[in-house]
Each structure stands twice: as C-alpha cells, then as structure tokens.
C-alpha cells in the first residue's frame, strides 16, 4: 500500500477523503434501516413485542463494551503514530477483543430471542430488529477482521508510523460503527 | 414529414371516438381536472413557443458565415439571470395556485347523501359492492347520473389502480389500505376504464365499464340486481343441463349465484347476462364470447386464476345457455 | 512497479493473449472508460431491441406478436437496461475518460477500485440478463412495486434475478461514486480551483454525490425484498401488518435522485459542447453550476410526486407539487444560459453541436410535460399512462441520450485520435431526431386519450391504433439511426480524419494533450490559471510533448476482476439456492480483497 505523500488539492489523503465519503453513504444506509424500524414500530399483528424480549441492562453492558473499544482504538492509533510497537499491539488487540465481546453479546441476545419465540419471520418487529441490528453486527465483524489483520501486520513488523494513515482510516470506520450503535441503542432499546 | 405526422395525430385525436379519454370529461371530478389541465397546457404552449423560437432564432441568426466576426467573450449578465429566474417562477405561481385549489376541491369531504361503492381489485377483475343497497357485481359498475359517488377501494392481492378517465383521475387500489375518490357523472352513457397500475401478467386485461343511468334507470337496475335468478326448473332443457354442470364441474367453488352457490374467489354471476362484457371487459357477453372463455380462460387472459376445465363442446353450449338465463 | 514514459499498451504486434490480458488487468482510467463505453453501448442496443419488440407488439390493437409473459419481461428489462446498464455506464464512460483529463490528473484516485466498478457493472449486467437464458428474466417492472414482487405473486426466479442484479449494480455505482468524488475534490491540477472546473466535471461531482447518497436507500429496499423472498421476513407483507407503500417511498427516495443521476452528466456535456461550437464561453458559468447543485438538492425533496395516485392527502399533494414545480426554475435557467451562450456566437453545426441543440429542443418539451404532471390533479390523469412514457423519453432519450451522443461525437477524436464522419453523423442525427419525435410525440396523446403503460394489448375501441402505429414507425427510424451510428464507428476506425490534439479548438484541459492521450496523460502536471486555459493567453503552464523525467504509471491488477467474480458467485449461489457457491464466492471475494490490499501497487 502506498504511503508516499501525494500532492492533493485539499491536502487530505485520498484514502481518508474516500472513507469519509463512504461513511456518508453508510449514514443513509443505516438511516433507511432505522427509519423503517421506526415506521413499523407497534405495527406487528402478533407478538412478541419489544417489551417482552428486550433486555436493556444486558445491552447497556454491551454498549459500554463497544464504547470502550472506541477508546482503545484511539489509543491504538496514538501508539502506531509514535511507533510504539508493544502498545500498538495491546490496543489493537483490545479493540478487536472488545468488538468480539460485543458480537458475543449480540449472538447471545439473538439466541435468547429465538428461544423466546422471536425469529426473523415472526413479525414486523422481528424482521426490522434482526435486519437492523444484524447489519450493524456485520459491520462490527468486518471491523474486527480489519483490526485483526492490522494486528498481524504489526507482528510482521509492517505497521510502523508510516502506516498511521491505514490505522486512522480503520479507526474512522470503527468509530462510525460505534456511533451508529449508540443511535440504534437509543432508538430500539431506550425509546421503545 | 414530421409536421405531417403530427398533424395526422392531432387530427385523429380531435375527430375520433375515445371512450377512455381524459380530454372528454363527463363528471365533476374529471371536469375540474380538465379545466386545470387546459390552464397548464396553454401556459406550457406559451413557454414552448417562446423558448423554442428563441432557440430557433439563435441557431439561424448566429450560424457561422464566411463574414462572421469572432464572437465577443461575454461571461454573463446578472440582470438577465435574475430575469429568467423570476419569469418561470411567475409562470409557476399561475400554475400552482389553481393546482392547490383543485387539490382541495377534488379531495373535499363528501356530502352525506353520497352513494358509497366499495371497489375491490383482484388479479385481474373488479368487484363492486354497494353496501347501502346490499348488492355485489363485477366489472360493470352502474351509477346514477348526478349523484355523488364515493368509491372506497382496496385490493385483495396486489396494487391495482382504478381509472375511468372520463369520470376522473386514477387512484391506486392498495392491499391493506383503503383509498378514496368521488365523482358525480353528468351524462348518461357508458364509459371505459381499466387498471392503471402494473399488476402482473394480465394487467392489460383488467378492464371495466361504468354505466351511468338516469336515476329511474338506476333504480330499475338495482331492483333487478336484488331479484333472485329464475328457478332452474323453469329453464329450457339445455339450460337446466348447464345449471347441473355449474354444480358438478366446480364452478360453484369460486362463483356466487344467489340461491345456488356462494363462492367469493371469482366474479358474482347472479346477473351475468345483464352485463355487456365478460372476463373484465375483454370479451363480448354473447354466446360466442362465453364459449371462448369457457374453452380456455388462461388463453384469453394469461395467468387467469380460473383454470381450463375439461368440457365438451356440448357441455360448453349447455353452460352458455344457462349463463345467458342469468339476467 | 514500472516507470515508463511510453504508451503502456502493448504494441499491436503483441500476442492476442497479451493484449487481452492487458485489458483485463488494466487500471488506466482511459481504457476503463473505453470498456465502459463499449459495454454500455452493447446494452443500449439490447435495450433498444427490446424497445423495438415492444413497439412492434403495440403497432396495432390485439396484436399477438409476443405473449403477455414475454412482453412483461421485455418492458421490465428495457427500463432496467436503459437506466442501469446503458445511460448510467455511458455517462461513466465519460467520467472515466474525460474527468481526469479535464482536471489535469494522471488517473483517478483509486485506479483498482475503478477497474472493480467496471467489472462489477459488467458481471452484474450479464447476471441480470442471464434470466433470459432460462426464461426467467425480470418481469415486475423496473420499479418492482411490492407486493407484486413477493414470492406469492411473483414465483420463480424472475424477481430474484432483478433484485440481486440491481444490488450488484449498486455496488459498482457506489464504488465509482466514492472514487470520482475523491478524484475531483482532491486531484485537481494546481491552480484549478472549484470555480475553474469545466461544467462537465462539476456535473460529474454533483452526480456522484447523488449516487453515494441515493443508492444506499435502494440497497435497503432491495435487502428487505431479498429477505422477504428468501428468508420469509415480513417487510412488505400486508398480512403481517407491513405496508406496501414502504417500498414505494424507498424506491422513489432513490428513484428521483436517480433521474438527475441520468440527466446531469448530459447537461454537463452540453455545457461543454455549446461554448466550443459557439466560440464563446458558457454564459453564466457560476449560475449553471449552482443550478445543477440546486437541482440535485431539490431532487431529494420531490420523491412523492411519483406517488400522487396512492392518495397522500391534500397537504402532502400540495407540498410535493410545490417542490416539484420549483425544480423547473433551475432547469429553465440552464436552458436560458445555453441559448444565451449561442447568442452572438459563431455557431458551427458539427454533429456534436447538432445533438446538443437537439438536446435543448427536446428537453424543453420533456420539461414542460414534467411541469404538467407536477400538478397532482392533472397527474392523476397522466401518471401510469403513455403521457408519462412520452415525458420521460423526451427527458431521457431526447435529453440524456442526445447529450451522450453529443459527447460521443465530441470526445471521440480525443479517445481514438480520429474524427467520426460528419456526413454519416448528420444522417445519424436526423434519423434519431425525426424518429424519436415521431415515436414519442404521439405518446402524449395516446396517454391522454386513455392508454395505460405496461399493457401488452389494448382494445381497438380505444381508437388508438393509428397513433400507436406512427409511434412504432418512429421507433424503427430510431433503430435505423443506431445502425447508421455503428457504421460511422466502423468507418472512422480506419478512414476517419486524424484529429490532432484539439480538432474543435476547444478551451478545456483535455484538449491540451495529444489524441489519444499518452498513458500518463500529462507529461508534467499543468498549472492552471484560467477557467478556459486554451482560450486564454497564459491560461496554463506548458505541457511538453515528451516528459522531462520518467513518469510513473500504475501497474495492472487482476484482483478487481477476481473480487467482482466473487460477488457474482455469491448471487449465483443465492439464485441456485446453493449455499456452497455463495460461500465459495464470499471466500473468493475475501481472498481478492486481501491480495488487492497487499499487492505492491503504486498510484
């Protein structure tokens, strides 16, 4: 991957600008999913309803975990930028690890819901809930894969300060996914 | 050549008989739209003439000639920009005001004495119910002249759209929703309509008629619709055989005839013989049309829910004879 | 990594295999532009063939040339093909070839992502059309209204090909959108400020913003439909309490910006061609740019005008009527500025200019009929009839396609180094102009007099046989025009006049370098000092014929192709209900992404 500083009209790295554009696009993706969830709220003709299955304390914990992962991401970027190999690895591993814990929570939540009778096909709540949170979960999974790849690169000695931009872009993605979760948590869990 | 073609088209548009035309309104709803449409149309013609003339003038006047001077490099003019931003805005106001007025007029609350007709769209036919009168018919809607008719519409399967242009604009007929339009027809006669929202294989074959009767004619039609069909034993031998086939060949499972069957999947046939067409307006309601339909419905109407029922020509003739007694 | 200062393409003496390989792995924006253009033109011909079959069927009432089932596939694929596989990628051909040259760049920001967009577009289009091979081409309309698209009312694979195919094409569009936004924002030559950008580049930028914001919305609509059909979710299920209008809102939230995605690039082309052949700068440059932006912004607030007939209520009807009418203002402003550009000019009627003037003439008609159905009561008579068919063909054929043809004739010498024939080009123009007016003008009346859209047969009693026949004759004249164009292309490849760097004496940066341009475009990055660098004294710094120092050119890569193969394999697995193929496709995609990330590649 190229790291040489190219001339750009704005001074921003192409990859960074590209990623911001992509995130703009993703906002509309999640915006449409969340809007659909809201439009269909309370329209299911059969149960279970959100009140019957949603476990707010449990999800608050997983939300906290994801928030902490964003903090770890910030520290990882700082470590990579200053060329600190050990802490780069620690924080990258922490970020990915916390992401995995979040996914574990989600897997547990989905399984519980299915046992309680809420499947993808059960009602509008099931369809909108699983597709919305599932799409988000898929984004987290991609992020975890990305972070683990960076971790491997670090162990290969290929993640020096010259690669800070790569880590910064992955951080952009990770923070975005985190922010989206805050919105989903608010809309689906807290305001229901 | 182009001009000739356009003239031909225009002439034929003015001269012909167009039973499904939006330009020949015969009800309050369609007339309101027509008045608005004509207003917008003439504004559009005016703008068209001005702008196309300007274009034509420019390309003729400033064509490159041997003595053409090198053009001056003008980059713009604030005065002109403001002018041609405001000009269309003003024209649009002249269109927007009557538009909004017409929106609120045509969607106004209905008078209490409006006659309600429930329209139910099916793939690919129309069911019309008159809840106040307690009758149900299909594909041909009778309405009394002059009275406000309130259509409350929904669909049994996919989205359709009720469109009888001479009476008014179209309104989609949507499963899970109730949509409404209202009109009062002002002249007696028959107008054409058809489904205007793509609804599958036989979308083109989902037609209907609206028959506007004078008030007494409408009452006569209602009385006839409410009367039971003639007793089977009073019919000819062939028709009696047809009545028998109606019960044994499965017709009764989908169709309703008062006193004989109560199927709901297909059109109500109690007074079939009073209708001008069958199969949602695609075949004439005569012995030939009925026989064609009975021979192979999916051939006449691709995708038809009514299957091909194995019938001999004799059986078809008997069924036709029976169906023709249902008046 | 290679550093070359010569044409990158293997000489024509190279083996066939080497030449094919160089195209398959190319990341050169110019070659990708050519690939887009050729592919999209083939799909344009295919969509045109579908149109001719439609018109042949409708030439008389009760015609039985094609069956209802076939007809529904034809009109569905005609619309889908023309929008997603012809007009959009034809515009993309210009974005690719022209934009980097107009901004003085060596390539786009992400050359491999660019190649990826092309391959995904190609394979996605082939995937969707593959439905024809097994008699299951999409048949629920390009707008695919729920719940007709549900498994209950559309059994079989028809809609599966459509939903997955569109999803794939969306990936290509969003990737290209990101790429071109970054390219234009970030890779302008020194001194090329935003308000010095050629209008075509401006309209490309605006279009790509619409692409990256509008496509995610349809993506979500398509995800819901896919899940409903394949996993039994209930998004569009009336029985489960779902609302079929959800699809319409999502579709038109995307669909109306999509209309501007189709037309804005053509407006950009016209804004280049008219000044060039009037020998005058574009009148009101800034206003033309801002009105393009305004059209795009307003384009987000008008979607429900496609839904007046569902009964939104008088308030919503009035609001959407007003916003829709407002769009007429910036559109009109553009037209006035084009006319003012020609005013006082020295107009040369070359073929590109004819198509641009034809664009204006026809777009006025399409714009005015558009204003007619911005009025909801009038729209209730016009929507879903041939009146609307007439309207959007004036805008999308008379508009977008005339603009695209104008662009083809205009930039052809830049792409190939040879001019297209003017006499043949003029024959092409007149056949197309007469044919399209003959085909589409009567449709206004056909619609107003009662003919709905999307019907494979109509009642003789409607009295519309003559007018339909006239429209059919017009369509076949247009078909003849397309053949004449193909002849022109074949003729000019060998016999076209050699163009030189700037055959039209145009003003923008792409004409400062040789035709065809060298692989590195500009031997040194130019410094731009004017909006019209070639018409202004000292408008730009000197670009020497031979690079003073070796120029680095990106390598080829085949991973973009492999990645797109993975994506299509995922869709094939879904169609064939074979999980193994889907997982295989995902694995290929993953491998390709990793290989892509880690292969040595310098931009």
Instruction: State pLDDT tens for residues A134-186.
Output: 999 999 999 999 999 999 999 999 999 999 999 999 999 999 999 999 999 99
The pLDDT value given to residue B17:
82
Mutate to test the interface with C, among B68, B78, B169, B195 (most CBs of C within 10 A): B169
Mutate to test the interface with C, among A14, A43, A152 (most CBs of C within 10 A): A14
The CA distances from residue C589 to A18, B161, C116, C493, C579, in Å, are 21, 44, 12, 38, 15
- Tokens in use for C257? 């910006």
Considering chain C, what percentage of its residues have pLDDT values greater than 70? 98
Any chains having at least 3 CB pairs less than 8 A from chain A are C
- Average pLDDT value for residue range B158-177: 97
**3-state DSSP percent of chain C in helix, strand and coil, to 5:** 70, 0, 30
Collapse the DSSP code of B101 into the 3-class scheme (helix H, G, I; strand E, B; otherwise coil) and give the result. Answer: helix
Contacts of C583 (CB under 8 A, 6+ apart): C573
DSSP state of B72: P
Contact C368 B48 (CB under 8 A): yes
Rounded Cα distance between C334 and C203, Å, is: 12
Contact B192 C461 (CB under 8 A): yes
Q: Find the Cα–Cα–Cα–Cα dihedral C263, C265, C271, C277, rounded to 10°.
A: -100
ipTM greater than cut 0.85? yes
The CA distances from residue C601 to B47, C89, C294, C552, C593, in Å, are 56, 26, 39, 11, 14
pLDDT band at C551 (very low <50, low <70, confident <90, very high): confident
CB distance C334 to C291 below 8 Å? yes
Contact B9 C369 (CB under 8 A): no
Contacts of B43 (CB under 8 A, 6+ apart): B91, B94, B95
CB distance B322 to B237 below 8 Å? no
Considering chain A, what percentage of its residues have pLDDT values greater than 70? 97
Rounded Cα distance between C207 and C292, Å, is: 9
Contact C221 A2 (CB under 8 A): no
For C242, the closest of A26, A124, A149 (CB atoms) is A124
Contacts of B301 (CB under 8 A, 6+ apart): B124, B202, B205, B279, B280, B282
Longest dimension (CA), chain B: 98
pLDDT tens digit string along A49-88? 999 999 999 999 999 999 999 999 999 999 999 999 999 9
Residue B61 has a CB neighbour count (10 Å cut-off) of: 12
Chain B: give the shortest CA distance to residue C459, in Å: 8
Contact B21 C450 (CB under 8 A): yes
Q: What are the b/e assignments for C206-239, b being 16+ CB within 10 Å?
A: bbbbbbbbbbbbbbbbbbbbbbbbeeebbbbbbe
Residue B13 predicted with pLDDT over 70: no
Residue B132 predicted with pLDDT over 70: yes
Element (H, E) at C51: helix C29-58
Residue C139 predicted with pLDDT over 60: yes
Contacts of C456 (CB under 8 A, 6+ apart): B204, C57, C66, C67, C68, C71, C72
- Average pLDDT value for residue range C46-73: 97
The pLDDT value given to residue C554:
78
- Tokens in use for C380? 């209730």
Contacts of C242 in chain B (CB under 8 A): 176
For C241, the closest of A36, A44, A120 (CB atoms) is A44
Residue C10 predicted with pLDDT over 50: no
- Average pLDDT value for residue range C379-401: 97
Contacts of C336 in chain B (CB under 8 A): 51, 80, 84
The pLDDT value given to residue C553:
80
Segment among A99-113, A120-134, B65-79 with least mean pLDDT? B65-79
DSSP state of C194: G
- Tokens in use for C521? 């475009």
**Number of residues assigned to chain B:** 327
- The residue among C29, C33, C8, C28 whose CA lies nearest residue C18 is C8
Contacts of C313 in chain B (CB under 8 A): 107
Residue A1 predicted with pLDDT over 60: no
Any chains having at least 3 CB pairs less than 8 A from chain C are A, B
pLDDT tens digit string along A175-186? 999 999 999 999
Contacts of B291 (CB under 8 A, 6+ apart): B316, B317, B320
Rounded Cα distance between C166 and C168, Å, is: 5
- Average pLDDT value for residue range C543-558: 86
Rounded Cα distance between C495 and C483, Å, is: 18
Give the β-pairing of B140-144 and B207-213.
parallel
Contact C321 B100 (CB under 8 A): yes
Residue C602 predicted with pLDDT over 80: no
Burial class (CB in 10 A: 0-12, 13-18, 19+), C178: buried
Alpha helices in C6-28 (DSSP H): 16-24
Mutate to test the interface with C, among B38, B53, B76 (most CBs of C within 10 A): B76
- Average pLDDT value for residue range C192-221: 97
Q: Find the Cα–Cα–Cα–Cα dihedral B150, B156, B157, B161, rounded to 10°.
A: -10
- The residue among A172, A147, A173, A167 whose CA lies nearest residue A80 is A167
CA A130 to chain centre: 16
The pLDDT value given to residue C285:
97
- The residue among B124, B130, B183, B180 whose CA lies nearest residue B154 is B180
Q: Does C1 touch chain A (CB under 8 A)?
A: no
Chain C: give the shortest CA distance to residue A83, in Å: 21
pLDDT tens digit string along C223-279? 999 999 999 999 999 999 999 999 999 999 999 999 999 999 999 999 999 999 999
The pLDDT value given to residue B7:
64
Rounded Cα distance between C57 and B21, Å, is: 22
Collapse the DSSP code of C198 into the 3-class scheme (helix H, G, I; strand E, B; otherwise coil) and give the result. Answer: coil
For C463, the closest of B18, B72, B74 (CB atoms) is B18
pLDDT tens digit string along C209-237? 999 999 999 999 999 999 999 999 999 99
Rounded Cα distance between C107 and B117, Å, is: 65
CA C149 to chain centre: 25
Q: Which residue has the tokens 């777009």?
A: C363
Rounded Cα distance between B75 and C235, Å, is: 53
Contacts of C597 in chain A (CB under 8 A): 1
Q: What are the backbone dihedrals phi and psi of residue B59, each rounded to the nearest 5 degrees, phi first? A: -75, -25
The pLDDT value given to residue B1:
54
Burial class (CB in 10 A: 0-12, 13-18, 19+), A7: exposed
Alpha helices in C134-194 (DSSP H): 158-186
Chain A: give the shortest CA distance to residue C393, in Å: 30
Instruction: Please state whether the peptide bond connecting residue B124 to the residue before it is cis, i.e. omega within 30 degrees of 0.
Output: yes
Residue C447 has a CB neighbour count (10 Å cut-off) of: 26
- Average pLDDT value for residue range B172-188: 96
pLDDT tens digit string along C497-531? 999 999 999 999 999 999 999 999 999 999 999 99
pLDDT band at B12 (very low <50, low <70, confident <90, very high): low
The pLDDT value given to residue C455:
97
The CA distances from residue C136 to C81, C294, C511, in Å, are 15, 41, 47
Rounded Cα distance between C581 and C569, Å, is: 6
Residue B2 predicted with pLDDT over 90: no
Q: Across chain B, what does the average pLDDT equal?
A: 93
Q: Across chain C, what does the average pLDDT equal?
A: 95
Collapse the DSSP code of B149 into the 3-class scheme (helix H, G, I; strand E, B; otherwise coil) and give the result. Answer: strand
For B159, the closest of C244, C348, C445 (CB atoms) is C244
pLDDT tens digit string along B210-229? 999 999 999 999 999 999 99
CB distance C204 to C99 below 8 Å? yes
The pLDDT value given to residue B8:
62
- Average pLDDT value for residue range C34-58: 98
The pLDDT value given to residue A4:
42
Residue A82 has a CB neighbour count (10 Å cut-off) of: 11
Instruction: Please state whether the peptide bond connecting residue A109 to the residue before it is cis, i.e. omega within 30 degrees of 0.
Output: no
Residue C439 has a CB neighbour count (10 Å cut-off) of: 24
Q: Does A24 touch chain C (CB under 8 A)?
A: yes
Chain B: give the shortest CA distance to residue C136, in Å: 14
């Amino acid at each position: 991957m190229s790291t040489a500083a190219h001339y750009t009209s704005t001074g921003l790295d192409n990859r960074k600008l590209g990623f911001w554009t992509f995130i703009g696009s993703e906002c509309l993706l999640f915006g449409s999913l969340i809007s659909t969830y809201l439009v269909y709220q309370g329209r299911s003709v059969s149960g279970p309803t959100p009140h019957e299955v949603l476990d707010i304390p449990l999800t608050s914990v997983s939300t906290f975990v994801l928030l902490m992962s964003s903090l770890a991401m910030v520290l990882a970027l700082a470590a990579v930028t200053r060329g600190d190999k050990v802490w780069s690895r620690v924080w990258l591993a922490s970020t990915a690890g916390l992401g995995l814990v979040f996914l574990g929570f989600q897997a547990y939540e989905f399984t519980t819901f299915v046992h309680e009778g809420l499947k993808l096909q059960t009602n509008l709540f099931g369809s909108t809930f699983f597709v919305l949170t599932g799409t988000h979960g898929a984004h987290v999974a991609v992020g975890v894969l990305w972070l683990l790849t960076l971790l491997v690169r670090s162990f290969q000695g290929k993640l020096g300060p010259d690669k800070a931009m790569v880590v910064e872009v992955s951080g952009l993605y990770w923070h975005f996914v985190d922010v989206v979760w805050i919105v989903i948590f608010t809309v689906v869990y807290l305001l229901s | 050549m182009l001009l000739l073609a356009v003239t031909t088209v225009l002439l034929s548009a003015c001269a012909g008989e167009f039973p499904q035309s939006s330009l020949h309104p015969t009800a309050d709803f369609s007339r309101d739209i027509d008045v608005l449409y004509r207003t917008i149309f003439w504004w559009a013609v005016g703008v068209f003439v001005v702008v196309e003339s300007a274009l034509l003038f420019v390309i003729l006047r400033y064509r490159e000639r041997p003595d053409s001077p090198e053009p001056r490099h003008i980059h713009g003019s604030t005065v002109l920009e403001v002018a041609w931003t405001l000009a269309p805005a003003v024209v649009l106001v002249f269109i927007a005001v009557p538009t909004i007025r017409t929106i609120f007029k045509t969607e106004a609350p209905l008078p209490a004495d409006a006659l309600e007709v429930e329209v139910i769209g099916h793939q690919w036919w129309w069911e019309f119910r008159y809840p106040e009168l307690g009758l149900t018919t299909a594909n041909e809607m009778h309405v009394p002249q002059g009275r406000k008719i309130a259509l409350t519409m929904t669909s049994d399967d996919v989205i359709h759209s009720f469109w009888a242009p001479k009476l008014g604009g179209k309104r989609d007929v949507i499963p899970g929703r109730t949509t409404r339009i209202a009109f009062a027809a002002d002249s007696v006669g028959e107008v054409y309509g058809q489904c205007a929202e793509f609804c599958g294989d036989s979308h083109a074959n989902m037609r209907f008629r609206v028959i506007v009767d004078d008030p007494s004619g409408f009452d006569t039609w209602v009385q006839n619709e409410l009367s039971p069909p003639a007793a089977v034993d009073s019919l000819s031998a062939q028709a009696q055989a047809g009545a028998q086939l109606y019960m044994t060949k499965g017709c009764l499972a989908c169709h309703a005839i008062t006193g004989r069957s109560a199927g709901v999947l297909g059109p109500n046939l109690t007074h079939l013989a009073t209708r001008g067409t069958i199969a949602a307006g695609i075949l004439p309601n005569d012995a030939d049309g009925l026989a064609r339909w009975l021979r192979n419905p999916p051939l006449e109407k691709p995708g038809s829910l009514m299957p091909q029922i194995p019938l001999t020509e004799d059986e078809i003739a008997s069924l036709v004879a029976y169906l023709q007694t249902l008046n | 990594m290679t550093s070359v200062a010569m044409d990158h393409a293997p000489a024509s003496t190279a083996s066939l295999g080497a030449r094919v390989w160089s195209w398959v792995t190319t990341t050169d924006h110019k070659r990708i532009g050519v690939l887009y253009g050729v592919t999209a033109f083939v799909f344009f011909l295919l969509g045109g063939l579908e149109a001719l079959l439609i018109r042949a069927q409708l030439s008389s009432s009760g015609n039985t040339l094609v069956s209802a089932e076939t007809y529904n596939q034809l009109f569905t694929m005609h619309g889908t093909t023309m929008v997603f596989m012809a007009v959009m990628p034809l515009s993309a051909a210009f974005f690719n070839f022209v934009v980097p040259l107009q901004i003085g760049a060596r390539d786009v920001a992400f050359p491999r992502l660019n190649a990826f967009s092309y391959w995904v577009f190609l394979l996605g289009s082939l995937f969707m059309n593959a439905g024809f091979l097994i008699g299951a081409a999409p048949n629920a309309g390009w707008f695919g209204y729920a719940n007709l698209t549900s498994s209950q009312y559309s059994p079989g694979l028809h809609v599966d090909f459509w939903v997955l195919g569109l999803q794939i094409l969306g990936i290509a569009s969003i990737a290209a959108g990101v790429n071109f936004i970054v390219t234009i924002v970030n890779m302008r030559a020194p001194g090329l400020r935003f308000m010095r950008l050629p209008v075509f580049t401006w309209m490309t930028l605006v279009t790509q913003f619409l692409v990256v914001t509008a496509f995610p919305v349809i993506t979500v609509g398509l995800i819901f439909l896919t899940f409903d059909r394949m996993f039994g979710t209930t998004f569009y299920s009336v029985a489960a309490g779902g609302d079929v209008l959800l699809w319409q809102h999502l579709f038109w939230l995307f669909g109306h910006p999509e209309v501007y995605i189709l037309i804005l690039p053509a407006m950009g082309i016209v804004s280049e061609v008219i000044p060039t052949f009037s020998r005058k700068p574009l009148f009101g440059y800034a206003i033309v740019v801002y009105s393009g932006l305004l059209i795009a912004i307003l384009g987000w607030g008008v979607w429900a005008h496609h839904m007046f007939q569902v009964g939104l209520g008088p308030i919503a009807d009035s609001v959407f009527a007003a916003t829709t009418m407002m769009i007429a203002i910036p559109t009109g402003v553009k037209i006035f500025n084009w006319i003012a550009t020609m005013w006082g000019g020295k107009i040369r009627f070359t073929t590109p200019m004819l198509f641009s003037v034809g664009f204006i003439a026809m777009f006025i008609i399409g714009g005015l009929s558009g204003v007619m159905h911005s009025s909801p009561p009038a729209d209730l008579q016009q929507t879903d009839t041939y009146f609307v068919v007439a309207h959007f063909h004036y805008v999308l054929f008379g508009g977008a396609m005339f603009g695209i043809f104008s662009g083809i004739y205009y930039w052809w010498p830049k792409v190939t180094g040879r001019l297209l024939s003017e006499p043949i080009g003029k024959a092409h123009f007149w056949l197309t102009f007469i044919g399209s007016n003959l085909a589409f003008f009567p449709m206004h009346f056909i619609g107003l007099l009662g003919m709905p859209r999307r019907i494979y047969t109509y009642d003789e009693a409607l009295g519309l046989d003559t007018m339909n026949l006239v429209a059919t004759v017009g369509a076949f004249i247009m078909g003849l025009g397309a053949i004449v164009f193909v002849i022109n292309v074949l003729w000019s490849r060998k016999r076209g006049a050699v163009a030189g760097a700037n055959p039209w004496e145009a003003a923008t940066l792409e004409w400062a370098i040789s035709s065809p341009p060298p692989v590195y475009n500009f031997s040194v990055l130019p410094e731009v000092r004017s909006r019209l660098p070639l018409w202004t004294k000292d408008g730009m710094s000197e670009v020497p014929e031979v690079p003073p120092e070796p120029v680095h050119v990106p390598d080829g890569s085949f991973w973009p192709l492999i990645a797109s193969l993975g994506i299509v394999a995922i869709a094939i697995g879904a169609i064939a209900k074979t999980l193994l193929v889907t997982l295989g496709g995902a694995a290929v995609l993953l491998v390709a992404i990793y290989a892509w990330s880690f292969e040595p590649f310098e931009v």
